[in-house]
Chains A and B, each alone.
Chain A
């Protein structure tokens, strides 16, 4: 983290008077934006911005976490019986996949810092592959819930045939034997994992974009900020799952 550490107080970093006298001519590297004076200042700004953005993401999820806490305390039995309907093996597998992908993302930052372009690409592609595995596992989990009628809210107890995209209610209210209000658990399950999955999908898009930029040689030992930031984002996606998994799958 040489860039970050060496310039904690970059905002006060002196403007380079030698070329501040009227012309916007920069002699800095091509990736240095015109309104920054030093690479360190630009790096710190990007990083602070990302942290603020991630704080915002956490607060976004906090809403559903609060809702979960309230309804769990109201309907403990429903939540307990409903959580047994989730597939812990699949959930655990996905947890491992995400943890591993977070590690490869971190390694990608490291290799990018060392200027190892090819290795960075490989590591990022592994991260992306893990993200796809995660989504595929989720697909099968969802599929199973759809067949069993474990659906959110008013669709609860109405099994759906024909896969995820042919969502036609079938059968007549064959409610699984769960405590009343179990449908709220499944509402929260689908909302929380759904929003999380959306973050995974966005992450895949951004990761691909970074892979492309890396392949075209945009990054170097001196400039690897975007790799760093996408890894931070990916850690957040991982972190949120680390909370979701025990809350939804494990707690009795």
Chain B
């Protein structure tokens, strides 16, 4: 299979100069579409996930606009169901899951390892096209009636609805394979392609995060794959496995689904944390306090993530004993999360903090993720969850984790590595304006949802009682501010591409390895294979030349 076919033929005669910067080494659209260079594949993923984010964002704004006032505003109930489902599916499967690992990770991971490429470049390109292929299925479903099940595709509704479930589910199934193959590729790359001297304890924390994520991708995604396949077959053949009418168990679907999707939460959040580590170290010019604790907490999150899926099923019918066990296990997740937050705070303490745009996103991450995490504890508490389950409190909670976590991490990382990727600088002033809008807009949108959720506003409802109107209005206005923030950011990056100043090798003065190579990096990543002698955060050992802006 794929992994078996990984010997890349040697570069042909007349191959491009490996010391030429990767953007210029080869030319023409074809040289991008068939490239085996991890940096270019990373950029292709980047463009794709940003497109997906725009589509998902448009649906979000539509859903919010509908809820601005009571009764019908811009769509009917049926369209509303489809809009929030598409928003969820696109954001989760097309945007968040591939965003940091496949886009930023592809670009940065091999460079931070001092490797020339990922272990299996051809498989890497294949993963990208599998992702695109899966996205096409999702797109087909969208134009072909779309899905109204919610992104969780819960049975028995998903077996009966007339909407176009099968292409959408197949799309998620296919994108799952892309995720698995990326995970396999990264696992092997970290194990086998580290540069001389790059020991496990000198690995950047970004790598530790991606490594942990890869474990989840490889071990959890196949369970989702078989679940979605069974769902398709259930619709085709009426298997009876999930169908209560035929003696099956619809809740079994939920168990299978969350066995993937809870760990998937860590596919979303661990990479975000990993980006934050890099940014904080660079913008405080300090080593992350408790390196080993932070590294191991990524692994702990990855493993604990497999044990807590039952907290999504507290009210779906489980034995009391099982609910208690799942509730207890859920609290354990707070420990590694807390370790990270405390270590970041300890690093910030006494660090010489520079509040440039990547750092603003990293700090936002810590702030918003802490709120998301603490409200998660409420939901993990059995008795409270019975009240809050499927209310807007849950919606606000997971947006604090996913948007406050993953999206802040992704956007922060994009700002941070933008000069390295494109060789261009962007307008710091405009970046700060965008950040301000995003941060304010986000909180306005979702704090309102916490309040109405705790007062009993159910999620996924097309209409609501008069007492919720004010909160919905505030939330919708917040979503416009948020949208304006992302548009500003987009404009800023486009301007940077068109007329940004040229970036120096190490504009942030970072001690990490990826900043030691020219900007943008040469095709072979380094002009000379580096030998690693100090850790990525050993600012006291780094030379002036390494940290200098030239």
Interface residues of A (CB under 8 A from B): 10-12, 14-15, 17, 20-24, 26, 30-36, 41-42, 44-46, 48-50, 52-53, 55-57, 59-64, 66-67, 70-71, 75, 152-155, 180-181, 183-184, 187-188, 191, 195, 202, 206, 225-226, 229-230, 233
Contact = CB atoms under 8 A, between A and B. Distances in A.
A72 to B, nearest CB: 12
B256 A63 contact: yes
Closest 9 CB pairs of A and B: A154-B238, A63-B226, A229-B4, A60-B222, A35-B116, A153-B238, A187-B239, A49-B3, A35-B117
B191 interface: yes
Contacts of B252: 67, 70
B529 interface: yes
Contacts of B247: 75, 180-181, 183-184
Contact of A50 (B3, B221, B229): B3
A45 B192 contact: yes
Contact of B121 (A23, A30, A35): A35
B256 A35 contact: no
A52 B230 contact: no
B240 A70 contact: no
B184 interface: yes
B218 A52 contact: yes
Given A57-B222, A59-B219, A187-B241, A226 B4 contact: yes
B27 interface: no
Given A10-B192, A11-B194, A48-B191, A56 B219 contact: yes
B230 A191 contact: yes
Interface in B201-246: 218-223, 225-227, 229-230, 233-234, 237-241, 243, 246
Contacts of B18: 23-24
Interface range, B side: 35 or more
A206 B4 contact: yes
Contact of B237 (A14, A187, A225): A187
B433 interface: no
Given A24-B15, A152-B239, A153-B246, 6 more contacts: A11-B192, A15-B196, A34-B8, A63-B223, A70-B252, A187-B241
B2 A53 contact: yes
A191 B236 CA distance: 12
B240 A187 contact: yes
Nearest to B184: A52
A35 B233 contact: no
Say what secondary structure dominates the interface of chain A: helix
A226 B5 CA distance: 7
A53 to B, nearest CB: 4
Contacts of A41: 192-193
B524 interface: yes
Contacts, number: 177
A116 to B, nearest CB: 21
A27 to B, nearest CB: 11
B11 interface: yes
B242 to A, nearest CB: 9
Interface in B112-148: 115-117, 119-121, 123
B161 interface: no
Contacts of B192: 10-11, 41, 44-45, 48
B241 A33 contact: no
B180 interface: yes
Nearest to A65: B226
A50 B2 CA distance: 9
A50 to B, nearest CB: 5
A60 B188 contact: no
Given A45-B188, A59-B223, A184 B2 contact: no
B196 A154 contact: no
Nearest to A21: B528
Contacts of B364: none
B1 interface: yes
B1 A206 contact: yes
B194 A12 contact: yes
Contacts of A52: 3, 183-184, 187-188, 218
A226 B3 CA distance: 10
Contacts of A42: 7
A60 B184 contact: no
